[in-house]
């Protein structure tokens, strides 16, 4: 907890002062059809968002890596009204580092030797087009062409990594349809993945791909929704194919909630080598008055230690601990037994989570302990403003997995207009 004691007082002051200077933008909004193109432009809507964040990372490794950053994300977007079913959307993001404390934003930059003793904070600075697409709506069907946000189910397989300052979006054609019999169908063809590391990082920049996503959701049962998905990812640069097929069931009945999911995955390399691995999730939750307790088990399996189930498009920060130790699945696979408790006290939302990690198969040294993690978050809304405090503490397991004790702290102010 020494990160909290070390930086909390001065950081709160800086964030509050930064938030108090935020100005609003007037916006007109309409959802009805307009009679002309100029009218659709006039009746569009604009939105402005600021997110000021302090992040501190402390890693107890041989180099005693640490880093901190105070960054401001400014997001401005505009959506036209509808004209003959068409609309357009443009969103610009700028991320600015306010304290001048340089840090590596990816593993490649850190290993380049330019940041000795610095930990990774994956928030690159700069200005980017976050979304820019043309949309067409006809009845219950909507199509989009261009750079867009794609968030499927709980984002375990396809998401936007919205927690980071630079969001992950997709250059794609997509079509979504709300059909009869309580069915929703989503399909997208992706040409490029705009990753959180920014376009200037030559180590992990955008991913040129030719990928197809299919997600079919049936919600006609009182017990919950059944989802079938097929995610066929083809990375052009490495000529690697990653095909995933799965079923997901989730729902809520009275004070009980539940999730069950199974998927199978095949990876094919350019030389024809193939690997296979499966995914399983089981979670149950119980709500008593204002407190919700959940217990779950997630297993990303291994193919004999040579390959493990991968989720390269996921919002991985949401899963397997906020300290981000397992953004990429180790070849030995991973089993995650987790417990969480959530509630509300005096208008403050509270969440605490504990994870116990083991590998799906032993490593070459016969070890399987991947460590454990505890984390909590507290958040509260104040009109257009939001304030949150988030903390994660990872404890390493067997030394042969080359992990290290890690603490991370975030203090964030949001403002939406």
Question: What's 35's domain CATH number?
Answer: 2.40.160.10
Angstrom distance (rounded) from CA 219 to CA 182:
5
The pLDDT tens digits for 298-329 are: 999 999 999 999 999 999 999 999 999 999 99
Picking from 394, 389, 348, the residue whose alpha carbon sits closest to that of residue 9 is: 389
State the CB neighbour count (10 A cutoff) for residue 77: 18
Query: What backbone phi and psi angles, to 5 degrees, belong to 10?
Result: -70, -30
pLDDT of residue 412: 98
Lowest-pLDDT range of 73-77, 94-98, 220-224, 269-273: 269-273
Q: Which two tokens stand for residue 182?
A: 């309580």
Residue 8 has pLDDT above 80, yes or no: no
Domain containing 105 equals 2-416
Angstrom distance (rounded) from CA 298 to CA 359:
11
The pLDDT tens digits for 113-144 are: 889 899 999 999 999 999 999 999 999 999 99
Give the residue, 349 or 107, on which the prediction is more confident.
349
Identify the band that residue 102 occupies on the pLDDT scale cut at 50, 70 and 90: confident
Angstrom distance (rounded) from CA 303 to CA 309:
8
Query: Buried b vs exposed e over 140-173: b needs ≥16 C-beta within 10 Å?
Result: eebbbebbbbbebbbbbbbbbbebbbbbbbbbbb
Picking from 372, 348, 347, the residue whose alpha carbon sits closest to that of residue 358 is: 372
Give the 3-state secondary structure of residue 413.
Answer: strand
Residues 6+ apart with CB under 8 A from 174: 143, 144, 145, 148, 150, 186, 187, 188, 189
Picking from 300, 356, 372, 355, the residue whose alpha carbon sits closest to that of residue 332 is: 300
Residue 20 has pLDDT above 50, yes or no: no
What is the average pLDDT across 242-264? 97
pLDDT of residue 31: 64
Q: Are 36 and 42 in contact (CB under 8 A)?
A: no
Residues 6+ apart with CB under 8 A from 233: 209, 211, 241, 242, 243, 244, 312, 313
Query: What backbone phi and psi angles, to 5 degrees, belong to 5?
Result: -65, -35
Q: How many residues does the chain have?
A: 417
Mean pLDDT, the chain, integer: 91
Angstrom distance (rounded) from CA 246 to CA 229:
5
Task: Domain count for the chain, please give it.
Answer: 1
Torsion, CA 20, CA 25, CA 28, CA 30, rounded to 10: -70
Q: Are 85 and 136 in contact (CB under 8 A)?
A: yes
Q: Are 27 and 77 in contact (CB under 8 A)?
A: no
Full 3-state SS string of 81-93: CEECCEEEEEEEE
Give the 3-state secondary structure of residue 110.
Answer: helix
Residue 12 has pLDDT above 50, yes or no: no
CA 232 to chain centre: 20
Burial of 256 per CB tally in 10 Å (0-12, 13-18, 19+): exposed
The pLDDT tens digits for 145-156 are: 999 999 999 999
Angstrom distance (rounded) from CA 44 to CA 34:
10
Give the 3-state secondary structure of residue 321.
Answer: coil
The pLDDT tens digits for 184-196 are: 999 999 999 999 9
pLDDT of residue 113: 82
């Amino acid at each position: 907890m020494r990160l909290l004691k070390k930086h909390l007082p001065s950081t709160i002051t800086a964030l509050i002062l930064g938030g108090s200077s935020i100005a609003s933008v007037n916006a007109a909004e309409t959802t009805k059809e307009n009679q002309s193109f100029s009218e659709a432009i006039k009746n569009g809507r604009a939105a402005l968002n600021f997110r000021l964040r302090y992040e501190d990372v402390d890693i107890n490794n041989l180099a005693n890596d640490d880093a901190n950053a105070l960054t401001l994300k400014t997001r401005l977007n505009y959506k036209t009204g509808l004209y003959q079913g068409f609309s357009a959307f443009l969103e610009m993001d700028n991320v600015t580092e306010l304290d001048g404390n340089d840090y590596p934003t990816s593993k490649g930059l850190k290993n380049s030797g330019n940041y000795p003793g610095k930990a990774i904070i994956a928030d690159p600075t700069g200005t980017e087009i976050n979304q820019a697409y043309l949309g067409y709506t006809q009845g219950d069907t909507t199509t989009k062409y261009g750079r867009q946000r794609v968030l499927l189910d709980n984002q375990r397989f396809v998401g936007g990594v919205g927690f980071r300052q630079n969001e992950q979006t997709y250059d794609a054609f997509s079509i979504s349809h709300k059909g009869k019999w309580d069915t929703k169908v989503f399909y997208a063809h992706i040409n490029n993945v705009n990753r959180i590391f920014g376009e200037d990082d030559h180590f992990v920049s955008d991913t040129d791909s030719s990928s197809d996503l299919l997600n079919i959701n049936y919600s006609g049962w009182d017990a919950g929704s059944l989802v079938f998905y097929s995610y066929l990812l083809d990375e052009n640069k490495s000529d690697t194919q990653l095909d995933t097929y799965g079923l997901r069931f989730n729902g809520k009945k009275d004070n009980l909630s539940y999730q069950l999911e199974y998927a199978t995955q095949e990876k094919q390399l350019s030389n024809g080598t193939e690997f296979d691995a499966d995914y399983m999730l089981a979670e149950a939750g119980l709500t008593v008055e204002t407190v919700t307790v959940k217990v779950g088990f997630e297993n990303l399996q291994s193919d004999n230690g040579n390959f493990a189930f991968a989720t390269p498009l996921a919002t991985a920060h949401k899963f397997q601990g906020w300290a981000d130790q397992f953004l990429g699945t180790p070849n030995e696979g991973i089993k995650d037994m987790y417990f969480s408790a959530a509630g509300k006290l005096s208008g403050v939302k509270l969440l605490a989570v504990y994870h116990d990690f083991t590998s799906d198969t032993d490593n070459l040294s016969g070890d399987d302990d991947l460590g454990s993690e505890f984390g909590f978050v507290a958040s509260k809304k104040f009109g257009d403003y939001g304030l949150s405090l988030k903390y994660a503490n990872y404890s390493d397991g067997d030394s042969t997995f080359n992990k290290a004790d890690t603490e991370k702290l975030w203090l964030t102010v949001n403002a939406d207009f």
